Amino acid sequence: MFHSHNAYMHIQDPASQRLTWNKPPKSVLVVKKIQDASLLQPFKELCVFLTEQKNMIVYVESKVLADTAIAGDESFGAVIQKFCTFREDLDDISNRVDFIICLGGDGTLLYASSLFQESVPPVMAFHLGSLGFLTPFKFDTYQSQVTQIIEGNTAIILRSRLRVRVVKKGIIMTNGDSEGSRKSMQYQVLNEVVVDRGPSSYLSNVDLFLDGHLITTVQGDGVIVSTPTGSTAYAVAAGASMIHPNVPAIMITPICPHSLSFRPIVVPAGVELKIMLSRDARNTAWVSFDGRKRQEICHGDSITITTSCFPVPSICFRDPVNDWFESLSQCLHWNVRKKQNYLCSEEEEF
């Protein structure tokens, strides 16, 4: 019989994680949805506030300034002069930014996440787009909210990401000889990895390995491997449970599976999943990462997925639990229904 006085585990309360600065933040990256005219005014206001009132160094992407509505605004010129700019593919700003402010919808936060392949600065996200699952802040009180974050008094939630490695088994011709070469690419994914059948009319057939063991073959339109953050995105539409982002898990959800008994499953964070085309698959498959970098997966290629060491620290509006339930009702109208009428007893009728 197992017996120990100290055998119980102490589970940390998810709401207890706070953002604290070692030294006051000096620089901020402002990520804005491109080609959205409704964001121009908020963007300019925020940048003026950050540079002139808060003396922050503001980083923006070069392509944001390519917009004539920003570059051509003379009254905004003094602020533009102070901007630090960078290019998405070329410049590494990971050590130069203290925190990030996102203006737009959930896609803007997914994009901000993709800019950081290793550690991510804390992200404050304003919902000025159509979906506000990851974006709890309203813009109208931005000054007091931003001030609070700079002062370092706020709850934070660590959203786990997936580290995905794609190994392509290509063939390179050298001096007339063909030799196998392996090309490997890595991605950090906040919502989900989707493997699907692409343009083919056949079902896709992929093998799913967990820590090296073949678990099952997925036959259907495809499979979604998601984080808890991604559970309320594509996965929930395909029939998965919604999982709070503080739960350490990886979710595997088939898309329209051929077998009706294939239910979505949840496995522990930290396991290694591997997806490969089945030997008898009639066609190739396609993979995408948070909806980007879509590419074909052929026989011999592999996709390896595990929990990343680099989560996205998201700044909460109130706290991780309240924010999440708020977003469930706002974005998905979760459990919004008509109440049954009160039934009065027979005695009360007379």
pLDDT tens by residue, 295-320: 999 999 999 999 999 999 999 999 99
Sign of the C-alpha dihedral computed for residues 30, 31, 34 and 39 taken in this order: negative
pLDDT tens, position by position, 170-185: 755 555 554 556 789 9
Quote the pLDDT of residue 273.
98
Quote the pLDDT of residue 270.
94
pLDDT tens, position by position, 38-96: 999 999 999 999 999 999 999 999 888 888 888 888 888 888 888 988 887 767 777 88
Q: How far is CA 233 from the centre of its chain?
A: 10
Q: Is the pLDDT score of 5 beyond 60?
A: no
- Angle of helix 40-48 versus helix 142-151 axis, rounded to 10: 40
Cα gap 246→250, rounded to integer Å: 12
Cα gap 114→187, rounded to integer Å: 8
Quote the pLDDT of residue 71.
84
pLDDT band at 237 (very low <50, low <70, confident <90, very high): very high
Task: Please indicate whether residue 285 or residue 73 has the higher confidence score (pLDDT).
Answer: 285
The active-site residue out of 13, 67, 98, 106 is 106
Q: Give this prediction's pTM.
A: 0.89
Tell me the average pLDDT across 152-167.
95
Q: Is the pLDDT score of 2 beyond 70?
A: no
Interacting residues of 335 by C-beta distance below 8 A, sequence separation 6+: 328, 329
Quote the pLDDT of residue 203.
95
Distances from the Cα of 18 to the Cα of 15, 27, 158, 244, angstroms: 8, 20, 10, 18
Task: Please indicate whether residue 345 or residue 341 has the higher confidence score (pLDDT).
Answer: 341
Quote the pLDDT of residue 181.
64
Task: Please indicate whether residue 177 or residue 268 has the higher confidence score (pLDDT).
Answer: 268
Tell me the average pLDDT across 186-213.
97
Q: DSSP 3-state helix, strand, coil percentages of the chain (rounded to 5)?
A: 25, 35, 40
pLDDT band at 267 (very low <50, low <70, confident <90, very high): very high
Least confident of 18-27, 63-72, 198-207, 224-233: 63-72
pLDDT band at 132 (very low <50, low <70, confident <90, very high): confident
Establish whether 301 is a catalytic residue: no
Least confident of 12-21, 195-204, 323-332, 340-349: 340-349
Percent of the chain having pLDDT more than 70? 90
Closest CA to 217 of 287, 288, 275, 282: 275
Q: Contact 227/306 with Cβ under 8 angstroms?
A: no
Cα gap 234→180, rounded to integer Å: 36
Q: Contact 160/248 with Cβ under 8 angstroms?
A: yes
Q: Give the burial class of 40: count Cβ atoms within 10 A of its Cβ; 0-12 exposed, 13-18 middle, 19 or more buried.
A: middle
Matching residue, tokens 């998201």? 314
Enumerate the H helices of the chain as residue ranges. Answer: 40-48, 62-65, 68-71, 77-82, 106-114, 142-151, 234-237, 320-332, 346-349
The token duo for 156 is: 């934070």
Enumerate the H helices of 55-171 as residue ranges. Answer: 62-65, 68-71, 77-82, 106-114, 142-151
Enumerate the H helices of 49-162 as residue ranges. Answer: 62-65, 68-71, 77-82, 106-114, 142-151
Q: Contact 122/156 with Cβ under 8 angstroms?
A: yes
Side chain identity, residue 199: P
